Amino acid sequence: MPCLVFQKCIEIVTGISLPYSAVLGERFYIGHFGGIIINANTVIGDNCNISQGVTIGVSGLKEKRGVPTIGNNVYVGANAVIVGKINIGDGAVIGANSLVTKDVLSHTTVLGVPAIKINDHSSKGYI
């Protein structure tokens, strides 16, 4: 119980909801303060960078319901939403204000609502 109270205090002070059960890789980096929500069952790889206002959450129906798995070296731009039982490949870039509901291939950039592939640029330079 004390851990949950401490977690809630951190959420209030920082504006970041990061449950203790989320699996985060080494060198996980939050670029700016506030508005970040990460589902308790999320798995995020090594060397990932997320910006303010990002939501990583649950979505989908029946067997497609779940949370994202995010690979290594992924950059997530401000106010992006990544939801559902999907995979974000290594080195991917999620553009600002994007809604990602489908898998993203490694070393690609997606952008938009819904997010679509716009090029084959990786996150090198963002991380």
Catalytic residue set: 32
Peptide bond into 19 cis (omega under 30): no
Phi and psi at residue 10, to the nearest 5°: -65, -40
Please tell me the distance from the alpha carbon of residue 28 to that of residue 15, in angstroms, as a whole number: 17
Local structure of residue 84 (DSSP, 8 states): S
Please tell me the distance from the alpha carbon of residue 57 to that of residue 68, in angstroms, as a whole number: 7
User: Is 3 in a helix, a strand, or coil?
Assistant: helix
User: Is 87 in a helix, a strand, or coil?
Assistant: strand
